[in-house]
Amino acid sequence: MQKKFFLIDIEGVLIDHIESNRVFQDAQHFLDFLRRNKRKFVLLTNTARKSTNFIFQKLRVNGLDIDLNSIINPTIVAIKGVLLKNFRPPIRIFIISEGGHIEDIARFTDIIISYNEPIDAVLLGADREITYAKLNYAFNLILKKKPLIVLGGDMYARAKMYDKELFFLAEGAFAKLLELSTGVKGIYTRKPESIIFETAVEALNAAKEHTIMIGDSIKTDIIGALKFGLDAIFVNRQGKKLDRKTIKSLKEITNGSSKLFMISSLDPRTDLMRIF
Ligand SMILES: [Mg+2]
């Protein structure tokens, strides 16, 4: 296999969890190995509530040498894959967010956040202080045929706020409410949706056949990449056994087209050499 371009998941592949400080030891070796061999990569994450800059700082503080612009999250996909492709600047958006998404949007001068019409699109992210006024304004914009772009899609998440750890309703739940009430389907910009893989391949200026996805989630990274027509590497650090149903569905997707590999670590001296 001669792949030139790599899409790399972050949580579970490079770092244990984005709120933790546990970067996997083999991660930096692997990124160095890619650079030495002139391979290009982007990092693909579904973490949207925290900005790309937060993730960049987190990885950097823990010793991973990466570029801020190499991180692609659902907000970046909404911007590059939907907004910049479909609207002329200045693009005016209404956004529901508690901050992280706004940090990302602020990096793009063609996009303006507005609370008055004209508005081109509604962006919906996690916001634990969401109000009726915001939801109802989004509802009215969607009724006027403005697209609903969902930055993520989880129904709920466990998180800490004001020192209390609780389950919080997330953007996916509010997206369902808006979809049901308007009859309009939202555009989801996270893995396993094709749009995130397409945005990543375009960011690398790559051809699909020269690109491979590396991830630890069958449901999002692997199935998403295979369905989009990419080969994929499943990083199985815990040596989990895949159940029959999963194997069957993976076989159906890969049938005759994309290839799937499995490795137990990113150490370039071991498993990976089988693939390179
Ligand atoms: Mg992961």
pLDDT in tens, 183-235: 999 999 999 999 999 999 999 999 999 999 999 999 999 999 999 999 999 99
Instruction: Write the CATH number for 195.
Output: 3.40.50.1000
The one-letter code for the residue type at 237 is: R
107 and 92 within one domain: yes
Task: Provide the number of structural domains found in the chain.
Answer: 2
201 and 181 within one domain: no
Classify residue 57: in a domain, yes or no. Answer: no
Q: How far apart are CA 144 and CA 201, in angstroms?
A: 33
100 and 25 within one domain: no
List the one residue out of 27, 31, 32 whose CA is nearest residue 42: 31
CA distances, 38 to each of 18, 31, 32, 96 (Å): 27, 11, 10, 40
Question: What DSSP character marks residue 258?
Answer: -
Classify residue 75: in a domain, yes or no. Answer: no
* pLDDT value at 275 more than 80: no
With a CB cutoff of 8 Å and minimum separation 6, the contacts of 52 are 68, 71, 72, 73, 75, 76, 103, 104
110 CA distance to ligand 1 middle (Å): 31
196 CA distance to ligand 1 middle (Å): 15
90 CA distance to ligand 1 middle (Å): 34
274 CA distance to ligand 1 middle (Å): 22
SS3 call for 266:
coil
Classify residue 80: in a domain, yes or no. Answer: no
> What's the pTM?
0.95
Tally: H helices and E strands in the chain = 11, 13
109 CA distance to ligand 1 middle (Å): 30
Classify residue 71: in a domain, yes or no. Answer: no
The dihedral built from the CA positions of residue 114, 120, 125 and 131, taken in this order, carries a sign that is: positive
Classify residue 79: in a domain, yes or no. Answer: no
170 and 114 within one domain: yes
106 and 181 within one domain: yes
Classify residue 135: in a domain, yes or no. Answer: yes
10 CA distance to ligand 1 middle (Å): 6
44 CA distance to ligand 1 middle (Å): 9
114 and 199 within one domain: no
183 and 94 within one domain: yes
Considering only CA atoms, give the Rg of the chain: 19
Classify residue 62: in a domain, yes or no. Answer: no
The boundaries of the domain holding residue 147 are: 88-188
217 CA distance to ligand 1 middle (Å): 5
92 and 109 within one domain: yes
pLDDT at 273: 67
195 and 184 within one domain: no
Q: In this predicted model, what pLDDT tens digit does every residue of 18-64 receive, in sequence order?
A: 888 899 999 999 999 999 999 999 999 999 999 999 999 999 999 99
87 CA distance to ligand 1 middle (Å): 32
